Amino acid sequence: SYDLTQSPSVSVSPGQTSIIDCSGHKLGDKYVSWFQQRPGQSPVLVIYQDNKRPLGIPERFSGSNSGNTATLTISGTQATDEADYYCQSWDNRLAVFGGGTKLTVL
């Protein structure tokens, strides 16, 4: 089975840049989505097809994907960005999720 690995936690100060990584074998050959999940809420799509933002998602959210690592970058991190973030990709048309990264804004 295909695995996606994420660091369990990332901490940043308000206004700083948050970097959340997701690694998998030849992940750069696949498309990656990113989801934000605030406590008690359903996940929300923030990036799809590696670097596209859905309508309504702030420009401070961006994504990249190359080699074995996909990255979600949040510029000028705000307190409201504190949440769990999940990467997701596909392996032979089967969906796979990473284990999630808890972003703490100190």
CA–CA dist 92, 79 (Å, integer):
37
Given candidates 26, 42, 59, 79, which one binds another protein under the rule CB under 8 A? 42
Strands 9-12 and 18-23: unpaired
Residue 53, amino acid: R
CA–CA dist 85, 41 (Å, integer):
12
Supply the minimum distance, in Å, between the C-beta of residue 75 and another protein.
Answer: 22
CA–CA dist 100, 94 (Å, integer):
18
Binding segment (CB under 8 A) for another protein, from list 9-17, 20-28, 48-56, 71-79? 48-56
Binding segment (CB under 8 A) for another protein, from list 10-18, 20-28, 32-40, 75-83? 32-40
- Provide the binding-site residues for another protein, judged by CB under 8 A: 1, 30-31, 33, 35, 37, 42-45, 48-49, 54, 86, 88-90, 93-100
